Amino acid sequence: MKKHNFNSGPSILPQEVLAKAARAVLDFNGIGLSILEIGHRSSWFVDVIEEARSLVKELMQLSDEYEVLFLHGGATTQFMQVPMNLLDDGETAAYCDNGIWGSKAAKEASLFGNVNVVASSKDKDHTYINKGFAIPANSKYLHLTTNNTVEGTQWHRFPVTDIPLVADMSSDIFSRPMNFNQFSLIYAGAQKNMGAAGVNLLVVKKTVLGKIKRPIPVIMDYKKHIDANSLMNTPPVFAVYVALLTLRWIKKEGGLKEMERRSNEKANLLYSTIDSLPIFTSHVVKEDRSNMNAVFFLTHPEQEAPFLELCKQEGMIGVKGYRTVGGIRVSMYNALPLESVQAFCDLAKQFAAKRG
């Protein structure tokens, strides 16, 4: 039976990326060593990480003001590493709380300075994205999560402000073209659109660094990592290599414009199907729906378990909603083929015809 991988992360990877990564585990580029065995300061790996950094800059069309790093710890580490590098004692950072990850990021930042939650959608269970909110001029930066995997919302327009923008793009990085130069710092865990779990991408504008008076532990200091070209300590070599393969695939397939075209096609198919079937209901405001993670529910909760069981029988993997939210979640990252979304929609229609 064909499997359809809707996992929210770690998530589906392109088949050619998996094939190349598998070959490299046995023999990396014909050198007679596994990618798991090569030294991280060897020319073999330096070439890998330098090409990966270059591709990030190319795909995101970043100016020379930016540095690209591959770091340990995933996006959750950045919840504290960002304020550690950007927020000094007594200063205030503005945060948007549009879901579980934004809330956690704000909580961590409060350990290093003052946090002002300038926008929150908690009043309606994070089913919308705030708009038109005020950002105090004394804010050191504004932090937001561009796509909320748990709640199924996504920022489709960003605040226009002179305050430095910081964005957690873990779940929609490389899924659409945008002006990435409007952000002062971007971070993203790799395990959704960019590769395997274990590495975190960081894009940072150099001018925002070096302003903190408090001592920063060396391993947490962005400037030290920049000086060491992401090689201060042993990086997650294999995860960086899979990220490189995925970045190559994105470029070969047509870049971010093509990723966006495919994303829109998949999301339009999924949402139009769900909206047409009264057996399903979505609580997310339509204009704020996520192209990456569609979250919806059975109108009659008692039908959720039978539907999930049917999905399991038909090879639909990872469609159960997040544990604190429930319902159904269909994640549609770059590598997910349209055929998988079509298969899910066909199954939803069959279920509705029998039970609707």
Give residue 222's pLDDT: 98
C-alpha triplet 65, 67, 71: angle, nearest 5°: 160
- Residue 119 CA to residue 168 CA, distance in Å, equals 16
**Phi-psi bin for 254: left (phi > 0), alpha (psi -120 to 50), beta?**
left
135's tokens: 């950002």
The secondary structure element, H or E, covering residue 316 is strand 316-317
Share of the chain above pLDDT 70, in %: 100
- Residue 104 CA to residue 334 CA, distance in Å, equals 26
For the chain, what is the radius of gyration of the CA atoms?
Answer: 21
- Residue 254 CA to residue 346 CA, distance in Å, equals 28
pLDDT tens track for 235-272: 999 999 999 999 999 999 999 999 999 999 999 999 99
For residue 84, the one-letter residue type is M
DSSP codes joined into one string, 230-245 = T-SS---HHHHHHHHH
Average pLDDT, stretch 160-189?
97
C-alpha of 204 from chain center: 16
* Letter string b/e over residues 148-171, b meaning 16 or more CB atoms within 10 A of that residue's CB: bbbbbbbbeeebeeebbbbbbbbb
Asked if residue 356 has pLDDT above 80, the reply is no
- Domains identified in the chain and CATH numbers: 15-253 (3.40.640.10), 255-355 (3.90.1150.10)
300's tokens: 């009659």
Asked if residue 1 has pLDDT above 80, the reply is no
Give residue 321's pLDDT: 95
Please give, one letter per residue, the 3-state secondary structure of 86-126.
HCCCCCEEEEEECCHHHHHHHHHHCCCCEEEEEEECHHHCC
- DSSP letter, residue 213: -
Give residue 145's pLDDT: 98
Give residue 2's pLDDT: 86
Give residue 74's pLDDT: 87
Name the band, by pLDDT with cuts 50, 70 and 90, for residue 346: very high
Contacts of 229 (CB under 8 A, 6+ apart): 49, 50
Contacts of 118 (CB under 8 A, 6+ apart): 94, 95, 96, 133, 134, 135, 136, 139, 142
Residue 346 CA: distances (Å) to CA of 217, 270, 272, 326, 339: 53, 10, 12, 22, 10
Average pLDDT, stretch 291-314?
97
Active site residues: 101, 168, 192
Asked if residue 110 has pLDDT above 80, the reply is yes
How many other C-beta atoms can be found within 10 angstroms of the C-beta atom of residue 341?
Answer: 22
| Model-wide pTM > 0.95 | yes
Handedness of CA 77, 82, 85, 88 (dihedral sign): negative
Length of the chain equals 356
Give residue 42's pLDDT: 96
Handedness of CA 248, 250, 252, 255 (dihedral sign): negative
Give residue 309's pLDDT: 97
Burial of residue 43 (number of CB atoms within 10 Å: 0-12, 13-18, 19+): exposed
Name the band, by pLDDT with cuts 50, 70 and 90, for residue 325: very high
pLDDT tens track for 23-73: 999 999 999 999 999 999 999 999 999 999 999 999 999 999 999 999 998
Burial of residue 262 (number of CB atoms within 10 Å: 0-12, 13-18, 19+): buried
- Residue 157 CA to residue 61 CA, distance in Å, equals 19
